[in-house]
Amino acid sequence: MPRPRKDDTTMLKWLQHPKCGNCGDDLILESAVVEDFPYIHCDIRMKCMSCGEVYLHGLPRLHNIGVAMHAMDTNLKDAMSYMDSLGERICRQCKIPMLQTKIWGDWTFKNEGIISLQWKCPKCYLTQQEIHNRKFPHGDGADLTEKESAALQDKLRRMGYID
């Protein structure tokens, strides 16, 4: 039987027990949930035993897909420019620059005037998610229908990505 290549499956391995980047105390596992949208991954939620700081790691099955950009907006050029304008994010655990990995704009939040952005550490897969008020115009490209937008919002709400 052929052995899987190193790049086929992602594994998150800590040589020491994971510590809080804020106070240095141990992190405890709160949940681990396997998801299949927008790619197969496991959301691992940990919390600091002392200060309560929460860490959400989005561990992908495949590294390249897990650190790729997933964007849903009718005006990707301005959405990307807006995200770039916010500056770099640094991983609280690895202390290295995070990658831009998610823009959920008007395909997801059709008439709500917000955009959800995510950065992810390419080493430990820690995520940082931010919701901003939309400060750029909608595009005139292909848009989701009301029914498609509602179905997408429902799926994201069930997965805990949006309230």
Mean pLDDT by 10 residues, the chain (163 residues): 46 72 92 85 93 92 86 87 96 94 84 90 93 87 68 74 65
Tokens of 28: 């405890």
Q: Does any domain span residue 63? A: yes
Residue with tokens 């005006």: 75
- Segments in the chain forming alpha helices (H): 63-66, 76-85, 146-158
3-class secondary-structure state, position 31? strand
Q: Is the pTM of this model over 0.85?
A: no
In the prediction, which pLDDT does 12 show?
A: 61
Q: Does any domain span residue 128? A: yes
Q: Does any domain span residue 163? A: no
The distance between the two most distant Cα atoms of the chain, rounded to a whole number of Å, is 54
Q: What's the domain range around 138?
A: 27-158
Give the distance, in angstroms, between the CA of residue 23 and the centroid of all CA atoms in the same chain: 24
Give the distance, in angstroms, between the CA of residue 66 and the centroid of all CA atoms in the same chain: 9
In the prediction, which pLDDT does 5 show?
A: 45
Q: Does any domain span residue 99? A: yes
Q: Does any domain span residue 2? A: no
Of residues 31, 53, 50, the one with CA closest to residue 42: 31
In this structure, the chain runs to a length of 163
Number of domains composing the chain: 1
For 63, phi and psi rounded to 5 degrees? Answer: -55, -50
